[in-house]
Structure 1
């Protein structure tokens, strides 16, 4: 084995390098809030490190990097910190000064990771408060220890902040983000102030939804009208849904819809019952009246809870159709299945018909007699029934008002009167027995059993009467549908000559197909009309 020595050709003057080379020193400063006292601390740190580095002849200022009003639990949003790390990797910084480990990072993992990265590059970090230089220390234990203290402090602060926020929620103090709340702007008192032109768009969205349009149809309608939206160029399904489901449009504010899962990652999650929610009613001026808002929420729940109509559908979830009103309300009297629109080709001519879905899926196995109805004849029968409905509108009004009174009472008036009458009879019977005893006709001890029976029955009847009186809450859905029917009768007094899906949705609760020549139409409010269908 032979070894050949290759001599050096250049001579390095290490004395001159050590004597004249200045260490490029950078400083990192951070304050976590934008409060005035923190801002003063922020500026003091910058001035301090600028003066400290410039006073040392062996140091050269490589930059002061400072993040203001930024949390230290994560580094991804700390732009100045990340800029400093990039310069370190480019070998433009030799030493980093920092007030303390908690200013460098409040996350133990991040602290150790960046310290190791810089140490591998030959760059030290000096933490003044802890008196630690990462280049000269032999163990990471102290950094890990102090980093853990800083992280624990962050977690404690986070808990205190969360407690303070929830206390504000309990007190009903609402913090508004009005930049993304369409229809509102910040008023002089800090509360939401209505923007009239945007408020009209919100009301239009609610009206179109109650008229039966889908979210997609509403967004398409607004885009065709070129109605401007604040955030995006076009209206979207999600944007429409957000407006329809946001309680702020009725003047309320639901607090703690989301919560922070981890103060280190700042990950948030939707509050599905993991935390307490707080509803502040009438917190600000409303754009939508409460009845309309409640109707929309009920309709949204109804559409969401729809189940499949056909057995051939794979998913159990049904789908609301905004195209044809009859798809939602027309059912077979024999089997209870919904009806579906189909196109028949008769002698080369397309003819729309309505057929029972069970009959389509299973033939006559379960539904033997359900007829197929031609759409034009079906619509004529419905128009005839509606016109009859309008012709006797005064009688219908009386019936609907009676239904409203019944709903407001929430009990059977007949049963209530019967109980009151029987209580009056018991009272009279007791008085009769007392008169018999007083006159000496009957012995008092002999009447004890009769008095006990009357008392027991009286207690049961009073208990039943109290139950009926306490459970007299109106059914909001029933009341709103009856009110809608009354309003439609008032607003539409003329005879209809054209079938309109929108009017059908507003006016009719259900269409039952009895036979090839007869259907029953149930109007909202409970009034029913039987109509003949032409053969």
Structure 2
């Protein structure tokens, strides 16, 4: 018969990873705090500075803690952590072993996005770094911490959705009342007065009028961009480089003739804040004569007609096996878009021929240039010098008739 031996069991207490032998300073928990406020109301009730001072005093006055840093994002959205630079820096410092514990006021301060909250908290748990949410009394290293966190962060996310919908509802009511909402800090030609109304900036308005004039004189948006850059004229934000796309949008912006179309874009996801062009998905609001015009309505509509005329040149003209060949607008020359082929109807383009070192400008059918005689067999090549002579003869003839 085997003799039963009594087992002696000893419990070895846990030793936090941050505690090292021999140094009293190393036994202190390196504690960081994260603060955030995002609205004016919050700044009045619990200001950014108040949160920072509160945590600095709390950590410094605790005998077992050492301040590892105060990370604070002022005026940053909680629905996504991507734009919160201090938050990202805090997570990186935690991963680098510089922080042992994180304090924050509440889940809504940390993140209103459930996925972001849980993802970052789990990353910290892998490093044995707890996050303490003071308002909810949650320690993420405790067993029930993640369950409570999931429930409460879902509630915070729903709260964020409600806030977003309420803000949008308020904005739409303003649209219905005829109130225009514009980011005037990047709006060439206008600023806002103390009542929030658009008012003209004379120097900038002069530039806007010049851009419209240059366009009607035959210049493309890209050529206008080159002209402004060559003259060293800065953009509304002070940059030296202009965007042809921005100039093209200016030429279609109804606000320059005193009207305002609201809700041109809309937000498809309150978490990502992604905006897309409104193609009739949500209502739009058109407000006539909202503010003083820089461009007269007649001139504005002339520009729209010219844009439509030029856009027609970009329409597919010739089908090819690999797709559609498109034309190209150029207003660089006097005869651009004035000469059209009598056989196929496509515009003529200017070409420079060189023979025996002598250059000669000619005009040829765009269709024939691209496809040869297969598409346009009989279109003639016209010498530019001959065309100019014929035009001047016609002009002089008219002038003589009027002078009689």
Aligned partner of 1:243 in structure 2 is 250
CA deviation after TM superposition for structure 1 residue 33, in Å: 0.8
Q: Does 200-209 or 36-45 show the bigger shift?
A: 36-45
Aligned partner of 1:177 in structure 2 is 183
- 1:448-506 CA deviation, whole Å, 9 max, x = no partner? xxxxxxxxxxxxxxxxxxxxxxxxxxxxxxxxxxxxxxxxxxxxxx99xxxxxxxxxxx
SS at match of 1:386: helix
User: Any conservation in 1 of the 2:104–2:133 contact (CA below 8 Å)?
Assistant: yes
Aligned partner of 1:193 in structure 2 is 199
Equivalent residues in 2 for 1:429-468, closer than 5 Å: none
- 1:244-288 CA deviation, whole Å, 9 max, x = no partner? 222222222222222222111222223233322222222222211
Aligned partner of 1:288 in structure 2 is 295
Q: Does 1:102 align with 2:108?
A: yes
Aligned partner of 1:215 in structure 2 is 221
Unaligned runs of at least 5 residues, structure 2? 1-18
1:270 aligned residue (263, 269, 277) = 277
CA deviation after TM superposition for structure 1 residue 38, in Å: 4.1
Could you state the TM-score of these two structures normalised by the residue count of structure 1? 0.62
Aligned partner of 1:377 in structure 2 is 386
1:258 aligned residue (260, 265, 271) = 265
Separation in 1, partners of 2:375, 2:126: 79
Q: Does 190-199 or 15-24 show the bigger shift?
A: 15-24
Q: Does 1:331 align with 2:337?
A: no
Separation in 1, partners of 2:366, 2:93: 70
Paired residues in the alignment total 382
SS at match of 2:180: coil
Separation in 2, partners of 1:62, 1:374: 79
2:136 aligned residue (121, 130, 143) = 130
Check 1:358–1:146 CA distance in 2 against 1; reply closer, same or farther (3 A cut).
Answer: closer
CA deviation after TM superposition for structure 1 residue 24, in Å: 3.2
SS at match of 2:132: strand
Separation in 1, partners of 2:376, 2:67: 88
1:318 aligned residue (300, 318, 327) = 327
- 1:310-354 CA deviation, whole Å, 9 max, x = no partner? 678963432112233434122344554544445566787544444
User: Any conservation in 2 of the 1:341–1:353 contact (CA below 8 Å)?
Assistant: yes
Could you state the TM-score of these two structures normalised by the residue count of structure 2? 0.80
- 1:280-304 CA deviation, whole Å, 9 max, x = no partner? 2222222111111111112112212
CA deviation after TM superposition for structure 1 residue 134, in Å: 1.6
User: Any conservation in 2 of the 1:344–1:353 contact (CA below 8 Å)?
Assistant: yes
SS at match of 2:79: coil
Check 1:17–1:119 CA distance in 2 against 1; reply closer, same or farther (3 A cut).
Answer: farther
Check 1:387–1:100 CA distance in 2 against 1; reply closer, same or farther (3 A cut).
Answer: same
Task: Name which structure has the greater RCO, CA cutoff 8 Å, separation 6+.
Answer: 1
Separation in 2, partners of 1:91, 1:341: 68
Structure with greater helix percent: 1
1:298 aligned residue (298, 305, 310) = 305
- 1:151-197 CA deviation, whole Å, 9 max, x = no partner? 11111211111121122222221223222222233445443333333
SS at match of 2:279: coil
- 1:20-74 CA deviation, whole Å, 9 max, x = no partner? 9333333333222123654535455445444544554333444443333222111
Separation in 1, partners of 2:27, 2:374: 98
- 1:495-535 CA deviation, whole Å, 9 max, x = no partner? 9xxxxxxxxxxxxxxxxxxxxxxxxxxxxxxxxxxxxxxxx
Separation in 1, partners of 2:99, 2:374: 85
User: Any conservation in 1 of the 2:317–2:326 contact (CA below 8 Å)?
Assistant: no
Q: Does 1:117 align with 2:123?
A: yes
SS at match of 2:31: strand
Separation in 2, partners of 1:110, 1:359: 59
Check 1:366–1:376 CA distance in 2 against 1; reply closer, same or farther (3 A cut).
Answer: closer
Check 1:64–1:373 CA distance in 2 against 1; reply closer, same or farther (3 A cut).
Answer: closer
1:24 aligned residue (23, 30, 36) = 30
SS at match of 2:392: helix
Q: Does 1:153 align with 2:153?
A: no
Check 1:348–1:137 CA distance in 2 against 1; reply closer, same or farther (3 A cut).
Answer: closer
User: Any conservation in 1 of the 2:263–2:283 contact (CA below 8 Å)?
Assistant: yes
SS at match of 2:251: helix
What is the alpha-carbon root mean square deviation over aligned residues? Answer: 3.6
Separation in 2, partners of 1:61, 1:311: 70
Separation in 2, partners of 1:28, 1:77: 15
Q: Does 358-367 or 134-143 show the bigger shift?
A: 358-367
Equivalent residues in 2 for 1:64-103, closer than 5 Å: 64-103=70-109
User: Any conservation in 2 of the 1:259–1:269 contact (CA below 8 Å)?
Assistant: yes
Unaligned runs of at least 5 residues, structure 1? 1-12, 394-493, 496-535
- 1:353-407 CA deviation, whole Å, 9 max, x = no partner? 4445567756499765x554443333333333334555667xxxxxxxxxxxxxx
